[in-house]
């Protein structure tokens, strides 16, 4: 007869996600996870299969709760400019509020894994590719609506935005100033749509 779990796997996964987000993959031990979740080692292995699959499950939880929610909003708004402005507002509000000093789990993990392209590294970089494709689609939609110049290279522009987004996620950990980051986001959006930065920041 199968034994019934004496803990909530979803609650344990949420606690594990928060720990990985705060400490990173390599700095988090199985004992750390036992203490953070309140679930014994045997039950963690039985439920999640070990540290690596638990980390991947935590990443998927993060995607469902944070990242994909923002990407879905980007796709849903018919105006790419409004969509991007709203995206940055959400990102900055989170980075300087609830997620203050945490950054982004995906960005933090990508930095930690460096150029590794196997196992966990491959999965992480695949997620950045997914975000890039969403941004390419948004830019092409903006070009079709006449909001973005048609001569703009959609792929290069998407990578510019992705670099800007991840740069903000990293920098907001050490300087969580919402006014500063929103101003920089506005500059980046104007550069994408108009081809030039605001006059006050032009070089």
pLDDT band at 201 (very low <50, low <70, confident <90, very high): very low
Residue 109 three-state SS: helix
Average pLDDT over residues 107-134: 79
DSSP-derived letter for residue 149 is -
Average pLDDT over residues 5-30: 91
pLDDT band at 39 (very low <50, low <70, confident <90, very high): very high
Torsion, Cα of 3, 4, 8, 13 (10° steps): 30
- In this predicted structure, the answer to whether residue 169 has a pLDDT above a threshold of 50 is yes
Spell out the domains of the chain, with CATH numbers in brackets. Answer: 9-194 (1.10.357.10)
pTM here is 0.77
Of 64, 53, 47, nearest in space to 25 by CA: 53
Q: For helices 154-171 and 80-95, what crossing angle results, to 10°?
A: 20
Using one digit for the tens of pLDDT, what is the confidence trace for 174-200? 776 677 778 888 888 888 887 654 454
Average pLDDT over residues 154-158: 92
Using one digit for the tens of pLDDT, what is the confidence trace for 57-108? 999 898 888 777 888 888 888 888 889 888 888 888 887 777 667 888 888 8
């Amino acid at each position: 007869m199968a034994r019934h779990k004496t803990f909530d796997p979803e609650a344990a996964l949420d606690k594990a996600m928060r720990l990985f987000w705060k400490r990173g993959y390599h700095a988090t031990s199985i004992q750390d996870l036992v203490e953070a979740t309140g679930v014994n080692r045997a039950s963690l292995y039985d439920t999640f299969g070990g540290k690596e699959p638990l980390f991947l499950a935590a990443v998927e939880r993060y995607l469902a709760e944070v990242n994909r929610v923002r990407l879905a909003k980007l796709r849903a708004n018919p105006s790419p400019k409004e969509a991007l402005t709203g995206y940055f507002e959400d990102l900055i509000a989170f980075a300087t509020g609830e997620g203050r000093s945490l950054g982004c789990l995906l960005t933090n993990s990508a930095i930690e894994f460096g150029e590794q392209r196997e196992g966990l590294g491959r999965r992480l970089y695949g997620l950045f590719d997914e975000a890039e494709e969403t941004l390419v689609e948004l830019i092409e939609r903006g070009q079709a609506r006449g909001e973005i110049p048609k001569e703009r290279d959609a792929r290069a522009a998407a990578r510019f935005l992705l670099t800007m987004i991840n740069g903000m996620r990293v920098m907001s950990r050490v300087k969580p100033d919402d006014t500063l980051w929103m101003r920089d986001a506005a500059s980046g959006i104007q550069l994408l749509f108009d081809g030039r930065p605001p006059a006050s920041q032009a070089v």
